[in-house]
Amino acid sequence: MMEERERMVEDLLARGYIKTEKVKRAMEKVPREKFIPSDQKMNAYLDQPLPIGEGQTISAPHMVAMMCEALDLEKGMKVLEVGTGCGYHAAVVAEIVGEEGKVYTIERIESLYKRAKEKLKDYKQVKVIHADGTEGWEEAAPYDRIYVTAAAPEVPEPLKKQLKVGGKLLAPVGRDRFYQDLILVEKLSEDNFKTKSLGGVAFVPLIGKYGWRF
């Protein structure tokens, strides 16, 4: 499916979602078909979300590219992902931060956690965690970058605390279950944050102590 992957990347470049060589290379390298259920493999390179079981989805490729670009990831960074899902997004981020970087990714649904852990086993810089992602992962904090792949009513407070000063956090936020804003947060000091909306998005709900309760 290499040709389909290359066509997808070229399309995302032409539409302006991919802007940098590092994101282009990562999305060229990671096989999306490896991470999705077998009955969806024929749709692997369509630019749309796909079901991965348990009422969850894998984000559309353009959203993965857009989020990676907005985070301005660099080699060697320590990154926290909330919402592993199938593991594809973590794999793309791992390619960008490289072997000298570290990606901690949290999944609350046990079956998805187990599947993603297996799919990501070749990425030694990725640690897959079964926990409530809205609480972050204090053990490895602080993080250079944090991103959330499900929507919460507001940015979970523990994630803001676990972000390094100078770091960036990206999350879909909104009290509407079906429509949110993609919010980029920059931590200027321990108590001072700058926020910017990158536009409207639609994500599955973020369930947990600091997200939706069901």
The mean predicted confidence, pLDDT, of the chain is 96
Q: Is residue 59 part of a domain?
A: yes
For residue 160, give both structure tokens.
Answer: 């803001």
Q: What residues are labeled active site?
A: 59
Judge whether 103 lies within some domain: yes
94: nearest Cα among 137, 67, 123: 123
Distance between CA atoms of residues 181 and 86, nearest Å: 23
CA-CA-CA-CA torsion sign (77, 90, 64, 25): positive
Indicate the pTM of the whole model: 0.96
The answer to whether 106 touches 84, Cβ cutoff 8 Å, is: yes
What is the rounded radius of gyration, in angstroms, for the C-alpha atoms of the chain? 16
**Domain boundaries, position 183:** 2-201
Given a contact cutoff of 8 angstroms between Cβ atoms, the answer to whether 148 and 208 are in contact is: no
206 falls within a domain: no
In this structure, is residue 211 part of a structural domain? no
Give tens-digit pLDDT for 164-189.
999 999 999 998 877 899 999 999 99
Residue type at position 26: A
Tokens found for residue 198? 């990158």
- Structural domain contains residue 181: yes
**pLDDT band, residue 132 (cuts 50/70/90):** very high
Question: pLDDT tens-digit profile of 110-126?
Answer: 999 999 999 999 999 99
For residue 175, the model assigns a pLDDT of: 82
Q: Look at residue 68 and tell me if it is in a domain.
A: yes
CATH code assigned at 102: 3.40.50.150
Q: How far is CA 39 from the centre of its chain?
A: 23
* Residue 96 forms part of a structural domain: yes
Residue 48 lies in a domain: yes
**Number of structural domains, the chain?**
1
